[in-house]
Chains A and B, each alone.
Chain A
């Protein structure tokens, strides 16, 4: 989905879209009942009621070069913010606990796991998702092309994470040989076991990436 069609600028609770409301209530359903025992009975000057840690916090997220204003529960991970609020569903939720790499994105050019990153922690940093890897004219990044050329996926679920991780693997200088590629791609699991083809895609790309 092109993210330009998505308007997620919500600065007040009244401005929440239906989708956001559904997301928020779905989130709180998963949360055990919580007694409102705010230690510091701080008052919110705008609403004249006690501050609740669940009140949405305003933040600006820069994703693929675009700045988004969001109002989010502090508990929202970057992965959920991308998928549920910005409509960027490229980053996948595999395990939600740092164990599979499907949610890999780049923050300030370094590969990280968006499922263990709070959206608030990503504020003020440049987030790149798979949607932001191709050129604006649609030309694929050489690593994307290589994944197609080498048939480096089957179901494709792990692929966005694999591709971003593969780009970093080359940029970090950890793609010298097959063994090093395997070790430095070990943070991305593939249930379809496309591993040999992923290694081939990285080998195909590493020279063109260096030149480009």
Chain B
């Protein structure tokens, strides 16, 4: 690991001040440190090389660490830990998709360390990104090429990929946030702003090194999810190589408001493990809207969701697996006992 200067701050204002001004390019020289489960890992691998590390863990004692629920919805502070939110009784009951997306991620130890803000910003697990002995990785070294295109790309994405990068967005919680139209709350040098969660991450396009719409030094302060009739009938289904402590090969986040005779009033669908960014499957939602939900309509919706899939040599199976995961999740949601 390269040397860095460590600073500890106790408020968002102090964190932003410590980050200081600076050009976008220089931003990677400074990093906020929350749970460290992404950052310290990647610093050990020499993939991330900050010269200054600003420890924001003490912010969990401010509003940034709080979880609030009321009739209007849910507000999750960015410094709240994954484990607290996964175990929160109201979230488990009223927002099962959110609790499950966190509970099925990583391990209990990691969930005790990791924060929600850090979670949505976790980096891809692409093995060529994580191993600096590969010279080709556009995400690490812009313009260098992509070793995964001709390499072993079993874990890579089939949706939202480009010729420059086919890396998978590995997170689970992000799928819940995008399915539920969450808002991200940000604080920076120019004050506060809000973004739809779907606008936070950028598909790779020609610049896979730019992953988010965050401005240099901007801090995620929290996430807001509005109450909605589809929240209680919601779930997160995750399929992986082993049963636990593993990233998704495919996953589906479903929220469903079902009327009489299994007619879909509203449905929200997001897909994990298969796409370059948190992935909302809007075409599948439209295909189900107003229809009766059964195996046939669920399959048709899944076909729509993967119509634009762009698989490579080793990840073709993800198209079929992704569809089956979505169908199973939809049918499971339809039969949930409320």
Partner of B109, one of A31, A75, A104, A183: A104
B4–A117 CB distance below 8 A: no
Interface size class for chain B? 20 to 34
Q: How far is the CA of A74 from the CA of B36 in the complex (A)?
A: 14
Which one of B37-45, B179-187, B310-318, B330-338 is at the A interface?
B37-45
Which residues, 1 to 37 on B, are CB-close (under 8 Å) to A? 1-6, 8, 29, 33, 35-37
The reply on A9 being an interface residue by CB < 8 A is no
The reply on A145 being an interface residue by CB < 8 A is no
A53–B57 CB distance below 8 A: no
B104 nearest in chain A by CB position:
A183
Cβ–Cβ < 8 Å partners of A135 in chain B: none
Q: How far is the CA of A168 from the CA of B108 in the complex (A)?
A: 9
Q: How far is the CA of A74 from the CA of B55 in the complex (A)?
A: 12
A103 nearest in chain B by CB position:
B109
- Decide yes or no: A53 and B5 within 8 Å by CB, A121-B36, A121-B55 being known contacts: yes
Partner of B6, one of A74, A96, A168, A174: A74
Cβ–Cβ < 8 Å partners of B243 in chain A: 186
- Chain A 165-202, CB-CB to B under 8 Å as 1, else 0, gives 10011001010000000111011100000000000000
The reply on A111 being an interface residue by CB < 8 A is yes
Which residues, 87 to 130 on A, are CB-close (under 8 Å) to B? 96-98, 101, 104, 110-113, 116-118, 120-121
Q: How far is the CA of A32 from the CA of B40 in the complex (A)?
A: 17
**Inter-chain CB contacts under 8 Å: number:** 93
Cβ–Cβ < 8 Å partners of A165 in chain B: 108-109
Distance of A176 from chain B, by nearest CB (Å): 13
Cβ–Cβ < 8 Å partners of B35 in chain A: 116
- Decide yes or no: A98 and B46 within 8 Å by CB, A31-B2, A120-B8, A120-B55 being known contacts: no
Cβ–Cβ < 8 Å partners of A205 in chain B: none
Q: How far is the CA of A79 from the CA of B51 in the complex (A)?
A: 22
A53–B3 CB distance below 8 A: yes
Which chain B residues have a beta carbon within 8 Å of chain A's beta carbons?
1-6, 8, 29, 33, 35-37, 40-41, 44-46, 51, 53, 55, 57, 83, 87, 106-110, 112-113, 243-245
Which chain A residues have a beta carbon within 8 Å of chain B's beta carbons?
31-32, 34, 39, 52-54, 57, 73-75, 77, 96-98, 101, 104, 110-113, 116-118, 120-121, 165, 168-169, 172, 174, 182-184, 186-188
| Interface contacts beyond A97-B44, A112-B113: sample of 9 additional A-B pairs, CB < 8 Å, sorted by A | A31-B1, A32-B46, A74-B4, A101-B109, A112-B109, A116-B35, A116-B110, A121-B55, A182-B244
